[in-house]
Amino acid sequence: MTRPRDAEHDAHARVDPDDDLGRASVWQDLVLATHLLETALDRQSQRDGGVSHGHFKILVLLHAAESHTLGLKSLAETLRFSPSRISHAVTALEHQGLVVRRPATGGRRAYDAVLTADGRRVVGRVLRSQRREIRDPLLEELGGLGTAALGDLSARIIGLLDGGARPPQG
């Protein structure tokens, strides 16, 4: 399904008249689609979990980790967050009772984040809601072939932008 074009949507073509209009339109569609998806996920994470989607990604990574524990450095590297940003995010999650911070084992000057029981409940609630309200309706609309194509394209984009690293799910 294609959207009607408008002047704002085709901003790239107005800025650079030598740009290929078809490629610019596809690019704008991708940028808009990722923005709308992130906005929907953030709104849903806030509503059902009381956390931003950025913070929810931390909870998902901890939920999947052995003993629900990861080092702050590892979290920052996985999410491409600065050390300061991950520290602030973990502090906010601590204040909500979803994560505890503890010194890492091995005597290093490092810290681990540990998902609490409340944090595990939030992850379960938000993921169920995401699946029901966002993921399943979107993928059902795409159908089997569209879903497979989206998976292939997503993997290629991830590979091009991030050397094949997989982002957290959720």
Distances (CA, A) of 125 to 69, 70, 83, 94: 20, 21, 28, 19
Q: Tell me if 106 is assigned to some domain.
A: yes
CATH number, residue 95: 1.10.10.10
Q: Tell me if 58 is assigned to some domain.
A: yes
Which tens digit of pLDDT belongs to each residue from 81-131?
Answer: 999 999 999 999 999 999 999 999 876 789 999 999 999 999 999 999 999
Q: Tell me if 149 is assigned to some domain.
A: yes
What mean pLDDT comes out for the span 141-170? 83
Distance of alpha carbon 75 from the chain centroid: 13
21 neighbors 13 (Cβ within 8 angstroms): yes
What mean pLDDT comes out for the span 22-45? 93
Q: Tell me if 44 is assigned to some domain.
A: no
Q: Tell me if 18 is assigned to some domain.
A: no
Q: Tell me if 15 is assigned to some domain.
A: no
pTM value?
0.83
Please indicate whether residue 22 or residue 148 has the higher confidence score (pLDDT): 148
* 123: containing domain: 51-162
Q: Domains in the chain: how many in total?
A: 1
Cα–Cα distance measured from residue 31 to residue 8, given in angstroms and rounded to the nearest whole number: 13
Which tens digit of pLDDT belongs to each residue from 60-70?
Answer: 999 999 999 99
Q: Tell me if 167 is assigned to some domain.
A: no
Enumerate the β-bridge partners of residue 114.
69, 100
DSSP state of 81: -
Q: How many CB atoms lie within 10 A of CB 153?
A: 11
